[in-house]
Amino acid sequence: MRRLVWVLAALLLAPGRLVAQRAGDDQHWRTQREQLVATWLVPYGITDTATLRAMRTVPRHEFVPPHLRELAYEDRPLPIGHDATISQPFIVALMTQLIAPRAGMRVLEIGTGSGYQAAVLAAIGCRVWTIEIVAALATSARARLERLGYQGIEVRHGDGWAGWPEQAPFDAILVTAAPDTIPPALVAQLARGGRMVLPVTNRDGSQDLVVVEKDASGRLTERRVAPVRFVRLQREVR
C-alpha cells in the first residue's frame, strides 16, 4: 500500500515539477537573450526600440538545431542544414533596424532559412511574406512559426529573385543571401518611400551590406553600410 501511495504521489507531483522545469528553462533563455542584447547589440549601435524588444523576446534557440541550442545566444551564425545558416544576431538586428521597422509594415524577406528573421519582424508587428528556395527549409520554417504562434507570416517555396509580385508593393525588403547584383524585380516591388537591405557580392568576392532607398518620386539611392559574409543567393529551386 505504501508503495502505491508513493507512486500516486509521484504522478500527482510530476506536472508541478514539469511546470517548474519549464519555468526554469524559460528564465535561462530570457537571461541569455538579455545578455546578448546588453553585450553584442546595444554597445555596437543597435538603438531602435522595437528591434531591441523583438531581440529580447524571440526565442532564437527554437530556430537552431537542438544540438546547437546552447550556442543560440552567442553572436555567431550557426548551420541549419542544407548548406544554409541562421545569421548572427547582430546582423539580424542591424538589418531590421535599417528598415526602420514599425507595426503594420509590409515586408518581403528573401531567404527564410529557419524563420528567425521573419519571427523578429512579426514580433514588431510587421506583416511578412518570406520566400525560401529549399523546400525542406520552407516546410520546417512554416511549421516552426506556426508552432511558436507567430501570426502574419506567409512562407513560400520558390526563387526569391523574382520576389512576390502579386503582394507588391512592399514597404521594406530584406534579402538574407548575397546576389552579384541587386535583383531588378525586387527594386520594382519596393514601394515609394521604402527601403531594401541586402548583401551584395563584389567583383573581388567580398560582400557589402547595402541599403537601397526609393523616394517619393521613385528615385533610387544606395549606400554601403558594412562588410559582411552571407551565403550566395541561389536561383535553382530545391
Catalytic residue numbers read: 87
Interacting residues of 32 by C-beta distance below 8 A, sequence separation 6+:
61, 72, 73
Residue 111: phi, psi to the nearest 5?
105, 75
Question: What does the angle CA 193 – CA 106 – CA 213 come to, to the nearest 5 degrees?
Answer: 25
Integer CA distances (angstroms), 184 to 99, 172, 189, 196, 213, in order: 19, 15, 9, 12, 14
Distances (CA, A) of 9 to 15, 18, 20, 77, 90: 11, 14, 17, 45, 48
Q: Point out which residues pair with 195 in neighbouring strands.
A: 172, 213
Of 232, 234, 173, nearest in space to 207 by CA: 232
Which of 170, 91, 6 shows the shortest CA–CA distance to 183?
170
Half-sphere exposure of 57 (CA within 13 A, CB side): 16
Could you tell me if 179 and 203 are in contact, meaning their C-beta atoms sit under 8 angstroms apart? Answer: no
Q: Which three cell numbers stand for residue 33?
A: 537573450
